[in-house]
């Protein structure tokens, strides 16, 4: 329980206008900072204009000047951690009223999810909402936007058509068919101009085209993300050309086959009964991912829980994929691959539930076998790396933005405590406070 809250406005003694900084001082809590260090007791954390400027340092410069306001909160020994990061969401790939999406994004913040990596949706919608959030017009997590680039047949899927209304499938800057002879430099520039942060290499592309796309993305200051197999481009091909994260652990199985089909439809037909997760080709791949720092966006719970979103008929493969993916994710973690927390089904069937981010965290603990602290690092620091936000957020350190979650119980003792949220601090401002 919070012991007390004090709002102080210090009196100015000088005349003339002053730059009014916003200060927040949090006292007396147990900090899990997301760096991999042991939790520690913290007496004082100071935030100025959204940036963490002091953690238990006796620095008189990091205190409000006369005339500046400070909010002081004594957390009475509560548990604090970085805001959660979901590295696989789709916020705008189906028709949804703007107000409904805005409400859902505020709901995400309510539940401690402070950053999202969107891997395919209407970039016009996402860029507008991101801008409104940055101007303080609405509450929403930080959003990183990916543009889907793939072969022509990828854009026959109805969900992708819904994400580009008014444009022919595959011709929107954020949903681009690139299997032909088009100007890659122009395509990437158009995606960047639409507010996109990264390319998501999707499917039905060979390694030569993927290499062109990744090189151009890097040239234009963008990231390159991909599904773990792009057909015929293999997992090995993807990391060799510089892709920075791979999504969907079950698709790593194609690192163990002699030759790949060129049809992305085979993603649901993996030989999970025939190729063990510790196949030499897969272990070599994991070692290379670890050496290059390629993040594995495993998305495990989505496979296990797929019947919540689809009829059971026709998805018998999903549980096979889940069980194989669990084992390969465990091996990846053991071999030093950074694993992140992505859902691919961020919104649960009802809004009476928290975001599925919490479900994926639990899967990493209960199914994969990570310790609670390792799962929280996956949901914070590793997520920031995958999204290209690691210089801003993901850990609680001086110089980072203050995206913080204060819990009523300790998730290192019980991982379910990630939903026992008292406070959410987003960019140094209080988004959620305990109910009275």
Per-residue model confidence as pLDDT tens digits over 318-337:
999 999 999 999 999 999 99
Per-residue model confidence as pLDDT tens digits over 222-266:
999 999 999 999 999 999 999 999 999 999 999 999 999 999 989
Q: Is the pLDDT of residue 122 over 50?
A: yes
Q: Is the pLDDT of residue 15 over 50?
A: no
CATH architecture of the region 84-387: Alpha-Beta Barrel (3.20)
The span from the CA of 399 to the CA of 317, in Å, is: 46
In contact, 383 and 403? CB cutoff 8 Å: no
pLDDT value at position 21? 86
Alpha-carbon separation of residue 378 from 66, 339, 358, 373 (angstroms): 41, 6, 12, 9
The span from the CA of 278 to the CA of 330, in Å, is: 11
Question: What does the pLDDT average to over 104-131?
Answer: 97
pLDDT value at position 14? 36
Enumerate residues 6+ apart whose C-beta is below 8 A from 96.
none
Enumerate residues 6+ apart whose C-beta is below 8 A from 412.
32, 39, 372, 373, 376
Q: Is the pLDDT of residue 58 over 80?
A: no
Q: Is the pLDDT of residue 137 over 60?
A: yes
Question: What does the pLDDT average to over 110-135?
Answer: 97
Query: Token pair of 304, please?
Result: 């296990």
Question: What does the pLDDT average to over 14-43?
Answer: 85
pLDDT value at position 1? 47
Give the largest Cα separation in the chain, rounded.
78
In contact, 104 and 347? CB cutoff 8 Å: yes
Overall fold of domain 4-81+399-432: Urease, subunit C; domain 1 (2.30.40)
Which is nearest to 337 in space by CA: 380, 279, 366, 297? 297
Helix, coil or strand: residue 22? strand
The span from the CA of 8 to the CA of 89, in Å, is: 40
Per-residue model confidence as pLDDT tens digits over 277-307:
999 999 999 999 999 999 999 999 999 999 9
Query: Token pair of 76, please?
Result: 């009475």
Q: Is the pLDDT of residue 59 over 80?
A: no
pLDDT value at position 19? 56
The span from the CA of 235 to the CA of 42, in Å, is: 43
The per-type count for the chain, helices as H runs and strands as E runs, is 12, 18
What mean pLDDT, rounded, does the chain reach? 92
Tally of CB atoms within 10 A around 162: 15
Q: Is the pLDDT of residue 18 over 50?
A: no
Q: How confident is the model at residue 434 (pLDDT cuts 50, 70, 90)?
A: confident
In contact, 388 and 198? CB cutoff 8 Å: yes
Per-residue model confidence as pLDDT tens digits over 63-82:
788 878 899 999 999 999 99
Structural domain spans, the chain: 4-81+399-432, 84-387
The span from the CA of 427 to the CA of 83, in Å, is: 10
Q: Following DSSP, what letter does each residue of 273-305 receive, concatenated?
A: TTS-TT-HHHHHHHHHHHHHT-EEE--HHHHHT
The span from the CA of 77 to the CA of 75, in Å, is: 6
């Amino acid at each position: 329980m919070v012991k007390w809250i004090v709002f102080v406005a210090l009196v100015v003694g000088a005349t003339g206008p002053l730059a009014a900084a916003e200060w927040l001082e949090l006292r007396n809590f147990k900090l899990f900072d997301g760096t991999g260090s042991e939790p520690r007791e913290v007496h004082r954390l100071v935030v100025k204009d959204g940036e963490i400027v002091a953690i238990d340092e006796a620095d008189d410069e990091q205190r409000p000047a006369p005339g500046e306001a400070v909010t002081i909160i004594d957390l009475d020994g509560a548990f604090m951690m970085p805001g959660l990061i979901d590295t696989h969401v789709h916020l705008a790939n189906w028709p949804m009223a703007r107000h409904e999406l805005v409400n859902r994004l505020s709901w995400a913040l309510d539940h401690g999810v402070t950053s999202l990596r969107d891997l395919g949706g209407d970039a016009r919608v996402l860029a507008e909402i991101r801008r409104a959030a940055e101007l303080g017009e609405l509450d929403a997590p930080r959003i990183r936007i990916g543009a889907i680039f793939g072969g022509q047949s990828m854009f026959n899927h109805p969900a992708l058509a819904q994400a580009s209304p008014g444009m022919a499938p595959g011709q929107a800057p954020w949903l681009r068919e690139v299997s032909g002879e088009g100007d890659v430099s122009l395509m990437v520039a158009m995606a960047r101009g639409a507010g996109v942060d990264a390319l998501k290499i999707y499917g039905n592309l060979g390694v030569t085209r993927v290499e062109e796309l990744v090189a151009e993305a890097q040239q234009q200051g963008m990231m390159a993300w991909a599904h773990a197999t792009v057909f015929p481009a293999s997992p090995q091909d993807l990391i060799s050309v510089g892709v920075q994260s791979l999504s969907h652990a079950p698709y790593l199985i194609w690192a163990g086959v002699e030759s790949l089909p060129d049809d992305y439809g085979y993603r649901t037909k993996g030989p999970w009964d025939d190729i063990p997760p510790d196949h030499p080709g897969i272990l070599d791949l994991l070692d290379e991912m670890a050496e290059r720092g390629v993040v594995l966006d495993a998305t495990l719970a989505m496979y296990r829980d797929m019947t919540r979103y689809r009829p059971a008929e026709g998805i018998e493969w999903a549980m096979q994929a889940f069980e194989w993916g669990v084992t390969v994710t465990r091996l990846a973690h053991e071999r030093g691959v950074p694993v992140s927390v992505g859902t691919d089904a961020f919104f649960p069937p009802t809004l009476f539930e928290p975001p599925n981010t919490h479900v994926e965290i639990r899967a990493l603990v209960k199914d994969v076998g990570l310790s609670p602290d390792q799962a929280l690092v996956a949901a914070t620091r590793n997520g920031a790396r995958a999204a290209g936000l690691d210089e801003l957020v993901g850990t609680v350190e001086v110089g980072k933005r203050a995206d913080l979650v204060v819990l009523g119980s300790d998730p290192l003792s019980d991982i379910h405590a990630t939903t026992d949220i008292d406070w959410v601090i987003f960019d140094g401002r209080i988004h959620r406070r305990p109910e009275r």
